[in-house]
Amino acid sequence: MFTGIVEERGTVRSIEHHDDGRDAVLTIGAPTIAADTRHGASIAVNGVCLTVVTHDGTGFTADVMPQTLRLTALGDLRPGSPVNLERALLGGGRLDGHVVQGHVDGIATLTTRNPGPRWDELTFELPAPLRRYVAPQGSIALSGVSLTVTHVTDTGFGVALIPTTLDLTTLGTLQPGDQVNVEVDVLAKYVERMLDHRENHA
């Protein structure tokens, strides 16, 4: 489990595709996290939970399976791409963001970006099946960053980025047309599931 609070902005060193591009091995430079990780550890890379395969003092590698490449934007990464990184939450640690599983639900596309005095307002288009899980003042994770939804639209939602988020995450450089990994609030999905179950067994 993660919290959506980015610990380090790493850099993709390489992405090696295998099996005709169906899966890949991702190598990321991340000196802070690599100095305190281990084989088999979980690290959220742009919001996607990946398992550390190898590591040294400056970076780590992780396998990316076919389903992950299909459902996320990791396949678009290139050498030099910045990525948001977060290690799994320790038991007893502070939940500073919100409950984030690292299980991406889909991809959103930035449609507008409006700079403010000290913050930016961004609006995203979201795939129709995911829109029902997004509510004003609710939680959402974009490329692994825990954010609060400021408003919803017919086709998506908006968020506001404070200076810290602009400076320390990849969201600070997004431009209209860019895509991000989206994880909606898991509580919304469980509520929907329980309501469906109750209606089907009434």
Topology of domain 8-87 in CATH is: Elongation Factor Tu (Ef-tu); domain 3 (2.40.30)
Closest CA to 185 of 122, 135, 150: 135
What is d(CA 134, CA 113) in angstroms, rounded to the nearest whole number? Answer: 19
Query: Residue 121, Cα to own-chain centre: how many angstroms?
Result: 18
Give the right CATH number for 106-192 from 3.40.1010.20, 1.10.10.10, 2.102.10.10, 2.40.30.20: 2.40.30.20
Give the 3-state secondary structure of residue 196.
Answer: helix
Closest CA to 89 of 15, 147, 5: 5
Measured CA to CA in angstroms, residue 4 lies from 55, 58, 111, 113, 126 at distances of 23, 23, 22, 21, 19
Question: What type of residue is 70?
Answer: R
Closest CA to 7 of 100, 69, 72, 76: 100
Report which of residues 191 and 6 the model is more confident about: 6
CB atoms within 10 A of CB 51: 13
Q: Do domains 8-87 and 106-192 have the same CATH topology?
A: yes
For the chain, the average pLDDT equals 93
| Structure confidence by residue, pLDDT tens digits, 130-170 | 999 999 999 999 999 999 999 999 999 999 999 999 999 99
Query: Residue 70, Cα to own-chain centre: how many angstroms?
Result: 15
- Ordered by start, the domain boundaries in the chain are 8-87, 106-192
Percent of the chain residues past pLDDT 70, beyond the cut: 98
Closest CA to 32 of 48, 16, 53, 9: 9
Whole-prediction pTM: 0.92
